[in-house]
Structure 1
Amino acid sequence: METNNLTTLVIGASGATGKELVNQLILMGQNVKVIVRPLAIIPDTWETNKSISIIKANVSEIEVNEMANYIKDCQSVVSCLGHNLNFRGIFGKPRKLVTSAVELLCSAIEKNSNGHPFKFVLMNTTGNRNKDLKETFSLGEKIVIGLIRLLIPPQLDNETAADYLRLNIGQNHENIQWVAVRPDSLINESNVTGYELHASPTRSPIFNSGKTSRINVGNFMARLIIENDLWEEWKGKMPVIYNK
């Protein structure tokens, strides 16, 4: 494993998967900046860890120049941002929380362009198709996904966030390379275990979903940042991750 000391900005770091990612990056010897809500609960160990810089702010209120300043000494960014699983988080504003953050981060990266491509990892979902591969849903899946998209705003937000990277940034951007990681049903586990990576889902995300532990997602995303061979394998793609 390549262990060059890098700095990664993580948004959504106080979430269940974001915390696992930060811990994995630290275990791999990396420096991490986290942007967390002012009232977010974070591990006490983060406050005293010299490898972690903590920025308390609401991502939706950060201007592009401010974000550009936050990432000027970073080489990569990971978004584990998601809507809170309560009524206000699902149905309230901002409805385009993840998409707006992706747009903000990409604009900030462009302001800091230095000729070296910046790595952008987005946590996404198997409920979102990779249209570059012409992935399709069965009729039943289309009906259910359509209803979810109509009734649960975060679904559309996840789709448009990935589409921004896929369509607006694309495969040959001068300053930004990206990977959108698609876990299936997320579960909690204490340790990293074996996991499988696929270009597309191998099971129905609606009727036969698999399991993916949050710590495995964090491990894979951290490895993407650090291991150049793994990055080259998946850049510009939307890998699906399942627990073995």
Structure 2
Amino acid sequence: MTVLVVGASGATGRHLVEQLLIKKHKVKAIVRAPEKLPELWRNNDHLQIITASISAVSEKKLSEYSRDCQAVVSCLGHNLSWKGIYGQPRKLVTDATRRLCDAIKVNKPEQAVRFILMNTTGNRNRDLNEPISFAQKCVIALLRLLLPPHVDNEKAADYLRIKIGQHNKYIEWTAVRPDGLSNDNEVSDYEIHPSPIRSAIFNAGKTSRINVGHFMATLISDNNLWQKWKGKMPVIYNKPS
């Protein structure tokens, strides 16, 4: 497959690209700062590096970049700085999700493109009855007021759930929800659940970024796994050691 990845230079996006290359996929990576990428990437014939800010790429260019892709993955996130959290664009993830989906629809692919959004366990899947405590509801309400990136994550997933839905001719989607992210160097055992099995606020689990990258790459490669999780928001945790 050919896969378009946005947010490829981020902490999780890098792992995703590595896992896709291991699986012999062709990858188009849109990055703002290619100098931050591993040197080995520059000499890989299966990787095309596109230097651009996703917010500045025209609609025409987005449709061109995605035209021959069978999958599109967004690993976008806000930088953990004052500007990254409170500056513009506040709807980075939502706008990119919408624009990428629009680009796919313009191309009218013969087979539905697989769209994967990296999301968070702090966001509930409103297609399911995911109960949370009153205390967690209060904290989430506060996060919506104080942290624009949280609202961005919610709206991006809602765009897929509501606007794309379950029966779109051109797009199938899944929103992968890791819990507390950690940095590890090797893929380890992990488990996937339809909904969180612990509180994302008061009892968060751990999920290594490399495991997230591995799971997303496997979703693209494994048809059975994709059929299981398309149109859903799977939660990923590291298995307890």
State the TM-score bracket (shorter-chain normalisation): over 0.9
1:145 match? 140
Q: Specify the SS of the correspondent of 1:196.
A: strand
Q: 2: distance between equivalents of 1:100 and 1:40?
A: 25
Q: Specify the SS of the correspondent of 1:133.
A: coil
Say if 2:206 is the partner of 1:211: yes
1:3 match? none
Residue correspondence of structure 1 range 221-232 to structure 2 within 5 A: 221-232=216-227
User: Relative to structure 2, which stretch is displaced further, 135-144 or 162-171?
Assistant: 135-144
Q: 1: distance between equivalents of 2:7 and 2:131?
A: 29
Q: 2: distance between equivalents of 1:134 and 1:60?
A: 34
Say if 2:12 is the partner of 1:20: no
Say if 2:100 is the partner of 1:105: yes
Matched-pair contact (CA < 8 Å) for 1:12–1:81? yes
Q: Specify the SS of the correspondent of 2:36.
A: coil
Q: 1: distance between equivalents of 2:124 and 2:161?
A: 11
User: Relative to structure 2, which stretch is displaced further, 63-72 or 94-103?
Assistant: 63-72
**AA partner of residue 211 (structure 2):** N
Matched-pair contact (CA < 8 Å) for 1:14–1:40? no
The gaps in structure 2 that reach 5 residues or longer are none
Identical pairs, percent: 57
Say if 2:178 is the partner of 1:183: yes
1:134: Cα distance to partner? Answer: 2.2
Q: 2: distance between equivalents of 1:111 and 1:132?
A: 27
Say if 2:18 is the partner of 1:11: no
How big is the alpha-carbon RMSD for the aligned residues of Structure 1 and Structure 2?
A: 0.8
1:39: Cα distance to partner? Answer: 6.0
**AA partner of residue 128 (structure 1):** N
1:196 match? 191
Q: 2: distance between equivalents of 1:141 and 1:196?
A: 23
Q: 1: distance between equivalents of 2:99 and 2:159?
A: 11
Q: 1: distance between equivalents of 2:53 and 2:26?
A: 21
The gaps in structure 1 that reach 5 residues or longer are 1-5
Between the two proteins, the alignment pairs up a number of residues equal to 239
Matched-pair contact (CA < 8 Å) for 2:183–2:209? yes
2:119 match? 124
User: Relative to structure 2, which stretch is displaced further, 206-215 or 60-69?
Assistant: 60-69
Matched-pair contact (CA < 8 Å) for 1:118–1:175? yes
> What TM-score do you get using the length of structure 1 for normalisation?
0.96
Q: 2: distance between equivalents of 1:233 and 1:82?
A: 26
